[in-house]
Structure 1
Amino acid sequence: MRIDQALAWAVQQLEGGESPSVDAKVILANILEKSLTFLFTWPDKPLDALQITQFKSAIARRKKGEPVAYIVGKRDFWNLSLFTSPHTLIPRPDTEVLVEQALNWANENKREPLSICDLGTGTGAIALALASELPHASVVGVDFQIGAVELATRNAESNNVTNAQFLQSDWFSALTGQSFDIIVSNPPYIEETSPYLNKGDVRFEPKTALTSGVDGLNDIRYIVNRSPQFLKQGALLAFEHGFDQGDSVRNLLLATGFSNVKTVKDYGENDRVTFGCWL
């Protein structure tokens, strides 16, 4: 079986999925340890028996709905290549909006030294993206799952990011006495009964990283209420949240005393990130 034949077979197997052709190419490129360009350049290159077996097994997993990021064990985010795990959320492009807003604030305020905390860091995506763009900043990412802490640490090492560290912490529990210029978080924010939990890749992701009470806001409420103890004067608190939660998150921030509260949209024009300053 050649590369082009393998891809044609895989697309047929995955017919009806969201992106059969893209999925097949990403999976095959990973097995061959080559770039996507290689697949176009050498379509008639034959696969060996082991590669065919691995490819068929991976396509079978994808056909059952397992996310490509879990099958290949990696996902690109920002300027990083991150290892993934079924114990953490898969980094998504819309989360880059949260990184952008934190960077905008950092560039406008130019605090030295700059301290940043990422709550519920998962793969470390947000913390590592900020650390890579702000090499003079001190970044800490926390997660209550020790597996996530180990994964984020591995991602820091593989991307040569040296100004970020990761700690096991139930939100602020391991941060007593510390204060930050920026706190960012992509916390669980889906309603426990949401039908979204039974669709697509989300079916395979850990529910503890997805759901947060009846209205999806339990964790955001907790962070908003506790964060003033860990924020410096004028510091930024910024969240990723659901497309229909902008009003609620703004109201939570305003009721707690935050100022300059604003919601920005993601790349699909949905409310996605809300932030405010603690004065």
Structure 2
Amino acid sequence: MLPLSAKTRNAFSQNNLNYGVGVTLKAIVNKAITELKKSGSKTAALDVKTILGHVLEKDDVYLLTHNQDIISNAHYQKFRRLIRRRKKGEPIAFLVCHKEFYGLDFTVNKNVLIPRPETEILVDEAAKIIESNENEKLTILDLGTGSGCIIISLANKFRTKQHIELFASDISPLALKVARKNAKKLGCNNIKFFRSDLFNNKRIPKQFDLVLANLPYLDINKPYAKYLTPDSIGLKFEPKIALYSDKQGLLLIEKLIKGLPKKLKNGGAALLEVDESQINKLEKLCYKQNLKMGTVSNSSRFKGFVKIVK
């Protein structure tokens, strides 16, 4: 056989990359990283490693030590489909169907908001309240539970405590399906889930010691593109019902606060994640409802966490 020219070898190699025939892990990784960088990804190498590990069901060590292995065509085609979705800005969590939160691995999909690291502040603050009332029976509700990450993280942290009753609700049956799946997967079987628009489900207990809520607070009437910066383009793939609300983003939060005087026990508290710019308006609303409100986060980056006390 005559030796192939450099041009022919390059063409043959590129053809392999296009069709996944005899392609090494190293080759497809390098190609995908280049593509994602061109599409604007600031984490191209990490994205590719995460996606490939998901496709092959292998860890980082395997990918590093087997980079000359030949990938199967089926794996290659699945990998390429996910890379194309990532190039359009779809969040990694939706591509690999899970996201870590509070040290736990949560299943996520297009029906729930992707858990954010800053929301762990709500879990920390709730834990302080639980620990300070260790000898008292506490009834806790997570409104708009989504993936269930907040209430399940608490259930996991206090799984040996018998004095806590945990409830979670969401208006979306598809979100509740994800939350229930996560609770089962993580062995947190002491949470009662309800479909409800805020407090409207009559099967939910009448009063609570602690209410947790990360409700939608982005203004639905502002131009959608306003929120789609290069760093937040993934928002367009998340459920709008979990992100946007009327009345400058305050509709659901105001309804929640107006319901707290009846739903909180005396001395009870609510912990909310809101937009920092909304805090002054919410403080005035709490005053009208005879509720006390203050911020709870010491972080200079995340100031949109408030504690409301009856």
TM-score by length of 2: 0.83
Letter of the 2:114 partner, please give it: I
2:285 corresponds to 1:257? no
With over 3 angstroms needed to count, the CA separation of the structure-2 counterparts of 1:40 and 1:253, relative to structure 1, is farther
1:8 aligned residue = 30
With over 3 angstroms needed to count, the CA separation of the structure-2 counterparts of 1:225 and 1:275, relative to structure 1, is same
2:305 corresponds to 1:273? yes
In structure 1, what is the Cα distance between the partners aligned to 2:298 and 2:95?
Answer: 30
2:81 aligned residue = 57
Percent identity reads 29
Q: Where do residues 113-128 of structure 1 align in structure 2 (5 Å cutoff)? A: 113-128=137-152
2:217 aligned residue = 189
With over 3 angstroms needed to count, the CA separation of the structure-2 counterparts of 1:265 and 1:27, relative to structure 1, is farther
Equivalent residues of 1:246, 1:263 under 8 A apart: no
Q: CA deviation at 1:66?
A: 1.4
In structure 2, what is the Cα distance between the partners aligned to 1:18 and 1:243?
Answer: 27
Letter of the 1:79 partner, please give it: G
Q: CA deviation at 1:260?
A: 5.9
Letter of the 2:291 partner, please give it: F
1:105 aligned residue = 129
With over 3 angstroms needed to count, the CA separation of the structure-2 counterparts of 1:259 and 1:61, relative to structure 1, is same
2:116 corresponds to 1:86? no
256-265 vs 110-119, which moves further? 256-265
In structure 2, what is the Cα distance between the partners aligned to 1:44 and 1:112?
Answer: 59
Runs of 4+ in structure 1 deviating by more than 6 angstroms, as ranges, are none
Which secondary structure does the structure 2 equivalent of 1:181 belong to? Answer: strand
104-113 vs 51-60, which moves further? 104-113
In structure 2, what is the Cα distance between the partners aligned to 1:89 and 1:166?
Answer: 17
With over 3 angstroms needed to count, the CA separation of the structure-2 counterparts of 1:207 and 1:32, relative to structure 1, is same
2:24 corresponds to 1:21? no
1:235 aligned residue = 268
Equivalent residues of 1:189, 1:212 under 8 A apart: yes
With over 3 angstroms needed to count, the CA separation of the structure-2 counterparts of 1:47 and 1:142, relative to structure 1, is same
Corresponding pairs, count: 277
TM-score by length of 1: 0.92
Equivalent residues of 1:254, 1:261 under 8 A apart: no
Letter of the 2:248 partner, please give it: D
134-143 vs 34-43, which moves further? 34-43
| Higher Cα radius of gyration | 2
1:74 aligned residue = 98
Letter of the 1:5 partner, please give it: A
With over 3 angstroms needed to count, the CA separation of the structure-2 counterparts of 1:214 and 1:156, relative to structure 1, is same
Question: Any stretches of 5+ residues in structure 2 without a counterpart?
Answer: 1-22
In structure 2, what is the Cα distance between the partners aligned to 1:138 and 1:271?
Answer: 29
In structure 2, what is the Cα distance between the partners aligned to 1:60 and 1:21?
Answer: 15
Q: CA deviation at 1:218?
A: 1.1
Equivalent residues of 2:219, 2:247 under 8 A apart: yes
Q: Where do residues 90-239 of structure 1 align in structure 2 (5 Å cutoff)? A: 90-135=114-159, 136=161, 137-175=164-202, 177-192=205-220, 193=222, 195-199=225-229, 200-239=233-272
Equivalent residues of 2:47, 2:92 under 8 A apart: yes
